[in-house]
Structure 1
Amino acid sequence: MKKIIVAIDGYSACGKSTTAKILAAKLGYVYVDTGAMYRAVALYFIEHYINCTNQKAVTEALTQIHISFIYNHKTESSDTYLNGLNVENEIRKMYVSEKVSEVSALPAVRKNLVEQQQKLARKKGVVMDGRDIGTHVFPNAELKIFMVADMEVRAYRRQQELFARKQIVDLADIIANIESRDLMDTTREESPLRKAADAYEIDTTYITVEEQVDCIMNIAVGRMIELEYRVEDI
């Protein structure tokens, strides 16, 4: 069937990345974690003391950043590499989470990473998750999904993710971090987080990851069949 671009947007800790990874594997598509890309840039800025208000420093720093994804056979998923170093675990830590929304709001950063994201999907057959994929990166994506969930559930999920990485963080601190990120993501001037008019909204509060994947998989297959018939009709 005709390959498509699946754009998955939504708030943090709604299950976007987990669902997108499994969906891509089931479809035989490439998975691109755009959130990891922004986290990698945030980590570089932190480690190199880049001031986000210094446009010259930001622009110069971006020329020194190379992000890639390499498949990890042990975890059966892709790890994020920053300038040749595996930073998959480091970019998931709270100190990076506290910085990533500020960094991702910078026009120069978004322009740089959006260009990279668009190159990765030139041949389609891609599942990409983030916050502006269906509205800005791929406004013409054949399938757009927008994921939401209750705050308490989102915070608990993030706490469990951190615990799995041997990081113990108080739930109240996680809620504060998520609320801060939500505010910055939805109010930033550069491609803010919002639901695309033609996106399917999925509330993941009370459904499992498997149910999320099955739901999107059914929509994706239906969309591909629809496009196949359109091509044949022409």
Structure 2
Amino acid sequence: MPKSATPIPVLTIDGPSGSGKGTISRLVADRLGWHLLDSGALYRAVGYAAGMSGVDLTDEAAVTRSAEATRIVFRDPGDGGETRVVVNGHDATDELRTETAGAAASAIAAFPGVRAALFDKQRGFRKGPGLVADGRDMGTVIFPDAPFKVFLTASADERARRRYKQLKDKGLNVTLSALLREIQARDERDAARVVAPLRPADDALTIDTTGIPVDGVVAAVLSVVRPA
């Protein structure tokens, strides 16, 4: 990109699991007419592909090789429905939304090699007219120059309830107590990792979504891009 060119705008939406990032990011991207990057799906896809290949998820070198080789494609169904995630030719969207896939993603995200393998892939989503980037280190590592940054959070109990409803609606057999334990464990793991720990960017607006309707959160996020 020529130095004189105007940078493509990016809105980063970071936060812990269950904070509403996915839903809010999709709605905001639709409102703005911008592209969407679900970075968590990339890590889930790598964990899924590695697991399906029998790779030991504690073996950083092996998981990194899997990250470099895994083919990940996002497909818009064209009917307003959920974006499909195709991993090595297989539609793995449903498998990637399970807590097992989330736990695997959190574990391998601590590997520097895996993060390096996915760095350029994530940066490649920055295309006009703009990008909404949903993740955990979008504003701190992947797009530190983004002009718009938000960090969504909510209480662990609230996030567990949201995930419980979401997964039950999908027909999955889950318990609220187990989800709460998994969310708390993931919070600790994500915040404690040496590489790209979960934290708000210094210039991000933090929004606690506990008890706030989705429309209210969307409006708050849009106000960052479109000040009143």
TM-score (norm 1): 0.90
Aligned to 2:89: 84
What is the number of residues matched between the two proteins?
A: 223
The gaps in structure 1 that reach 5 residues or longer are: 224-234
Aligned residues of 2:70 and 2:88 also touching (Cα < 8 A): yes
Aligned to 2:3: none
Q: Within 5 Å, give how 1:29-178 maps onto structure 2.
A: 29-123=34-128, 125-178=130-183
Give how far 1:31 is off.
0.8
Letter in 2 for 1:128: A
Letter in 1 for 2:151: F
Give how far 1:168 is off.
2.1
| 1:204 is aligned to 2:205 | no
Between Structure 1 and Structure 2, the one with more helix by share is 1
Match of 1:219 among 204, 216, 224: 224
Aligned to 2:23: 18
The gaps in structure 2 that reach 5 residues or longer are: 1-5
Q: Secondary structure at the match of 2:76?
A: strand
Please give the per-residue CA displacement for 1:21-46, whole angstroms capped at 9, x wherever unaligned.
Answer: 00000000001111111111111121
Give how far 1:58 is off.
2.3
Letter in 2 for 1:211: G
Q: Secondary structure at the match of 2:69?
A: coil
TM-score (norm 2): 0.92
Q: Which whole-Å CA distance do the structure 2 matches of 1:141 and 1:63 have between them?
A: 26
Letter in 2 for 1:217: L
Aligned residues: CA RMSD:
1.8
